[in-house]
Amino acid sequence: MTITALSAIPTDARELSIWPASMTPLPHGGLAVGGVPLTEIADRFDTPAYVLDEGEVRGRCRTYREAFPDAAVLYAAKAFLSRAMVRWVREEGLGLDVCSAGELELAVTSGFPPERIVLHGNAKSPRDLEAALRLGVGRIVIDSPSEIARIAAAVGPDGRQKVMVRVVPGVSAGGHDKIRTGTDDQKFGLSLTDGGAQHAVTRILGQPQLELTGLHCHIGSQITDVKPYLVALRRMVGLMARIRDAHGVVLPELDMGGGHGIAYRPGEPALDLTALARRLRAELIEGCAAARLTVPRLLIEPGRAVVGPAGVALYRVLAVKHTGEKVFVAVDGGMSDNPRPALYGVRYAPRLIGRTSAAETRTTTVVGRHCEAGDVLAADVHLPGDIRPGDLLAVPVSGAYQLSMASGYNLVGRPAVVAVHEGTARLLVRRETLQDYRSRDIGV
């Protein structure tokens, strides 16, 4: 279909900033993404539905490669993974960061080179490690002392596996307590403060089956300031220098993780990627020069910043309820396809699409269909006062940590994922159905 924009429709520049670059206003309140009207997707694939702009994903991959030309950029698969996403990331030259045998096997069976994959996880199962070794994963990030002997034993006397050590650098950063991972009061990594990281390095260097290629840290998620990364990098370089002094080993890699913050609503801050790349590189060169260290290769692991802004969630309004001064708009999805508001208090900016409205806006709470008072998708948002059942809502910045964290709550089924690109829509992941639940439930 050929899309003709309606240039007379006023669209605030701040609002445009949170939509995919391909977003185009259409007549009668419509919007197109990737050249496809969102109303057409809702009619064709039903709702709820998740729309993923392939061009936006690829463009963000290229932006990272350009900002970090000398680094290894690994897409964090936990943000969202599908066979199509694996292909896009592979073709754009990124590596992958996975957290389970499931993510790893999906990637490899979709054609991703295993040597470009890093396996994470604070509690790796035997199945995770077996899959990593069987498939030839590039790196395993050691997160606890017990993993050292487990991996060495699984490798066997004649094998050798490249590993890294996840270090807790003592840096607090991130948009919520539950996603701050750089301090000693959480479950990830080995501490600098109590010597756990240093002890793990010593043990690994004594295991001939393990090749220590570098250090890893990840300080949190939704970080919008460069400074915490610089503080963490200084501490990591300091540890690398101490390892050199104690063991005569110069580690060739330093992985600074991800957590790069994006804006979910107009006017919210986002991490300046250009500034991050420039200042990390400068700090790394300066710190290594001062410590007389060879500059290690930098690795980074963006996930949300690659796929988050490329996604749009579509919901159909089921009910509108006025309770005192509050207006509740209930839609046909909710916390089963997006638990982030309930978990982290995240706020979104839904928009009415598919019709124009002259009504004044009202402060509205968009809620889901699930049997939980906390099933709120968007609190205190401005929507037209005449919103009604049957209307269509589009929620931008919905590509990351929504479907990947989706559940089977109330057996409503997880939504479909639809890719759009150059005027074409295609189904990537079909909608989960009652038949799926029946086929899994084999008890009597």
pLDDT tens sequence across 257-286:
999 999 999 999 999 999 999 999 999 999
d(CA 384, CA 363) in angstroms, rounded, equals 9
- Report the pLDDT value the prediction gives residue 189, as an integer from 0 to 100: 85
Number of other residues whose CB lies within 10 A of the CB of residue 146: 11
- Report the pLDDT value the prediction gives residue 212, as an integer from 0 to 100: 98
- Report the pLDDT value the prediction gives residue 172, as an integer from 0 to 100: 67
pLDDT tens sequence across 68-81:
999 999 999 999 99
Helix, coil or strand: residue 221 = coil
d(CA 34, CA 29) in angstroms, rounded, equals 17
What integer best gives the mean pLDDT of the chain? 92
Fold of the domain spanning 13-53+309-439: Lyase, Ornithine Decarboxylase; Chain A, domain 1 (2.40.37)
b/e burial code for range 324-350 (CB count within 10 A of at least 16 → b):
eeebebbbbbbbbbbbbbbebebbbbb
Percentage with pLDDT > 90 across the chain? 86
pLDDT tens sequence across 351-370:
999 999 999 999 999 999 99
Number of other residues whose CB lies within 10 A of the CB of residue 245: 10
- Report the pLDDT value the prediction gives residue 180, as an integer from 0 to 100: 45
Spatial neighbors of 328 by CB under 8 A, at least 6 apart, are 319, 320, 321, 322, 364, 365, 367
- Report the pLDDT value the prediction gives residue 115, as an integer from 0 to 100: 97
Residue ranges, comma separated, of all CATH 2.40.37.10 domains in the chain are: 13-53+309-439
pLDDT tens sequence across 122-173:
999 999 999 999 999 999 999 999 999 999 999 998 899 999 999 998 876 5
pLDDT tens sequence across 184-201:
566 778 988 888 999 999
d(CA 300, CA 216) in angstroms, rounded, equals 9
371 in active site: yes
d(CA 90, CA 70) in angstroms, rounded, equals 17
Decide if pLDDT at 182 tops 50: no
Query: Nearest Cα to 81, choosing from 444, 432, 402, 410?
Result: 402
Among 61, 99, 288, 371, which one carries the catalytic annotation? 371
**Torsions phi, psi for 289 (to 5 deg):** -65, -45
CATH of domain 68-302: 3.20.20.10
Q: Provide the pLDDT confidence category of residue 183 given band limits of 50, 70 and 90.
A: low
Query: Nearest Cα to 151, choosing from 203, 194, 86, 96?
Result: 203
Structure tokens at 223: 């970080």
Structure tokens at 124: 């790796």
- Report the pLDDT value the prediction gives residue 2, as an integer from 0 to 100: 35
Query: Using CB atoms within 10 A of its CB, is residue 57 exposed (0-12), middle (13-18) or buried (19+)?
Result: buried
Decide if pLDDT at 224 tops 50: yes
Structure tokens at 414: 């997880």
Query: Nearest Cα to 133, choosing from 167, 165, 160?
Result: 160
Find where tokens 């896009």 sit: 88
Q: How far, rounded to the nearest angstrom, does the alpha carbon of residue 86 sit from its chain's CA centroid? A: 14
What is the Rg, in whole angstroms, of the alpha carbon atoms belonging to the chain? 23
Structure tokens at 440: 């899994």
Residue ranges, comma separated, of all CATH 3.20.20.10 domains in the chain are: 68-302
Q: Provide the pLDDT confidence category of residue 38 given band limits of 50, 70 and 90.
A: very high
- Mean pLDDT confidence for 57-84: 98
Query: Nearest Cα to 414, choosing from 432, 389, 439, 394?
Result: 432
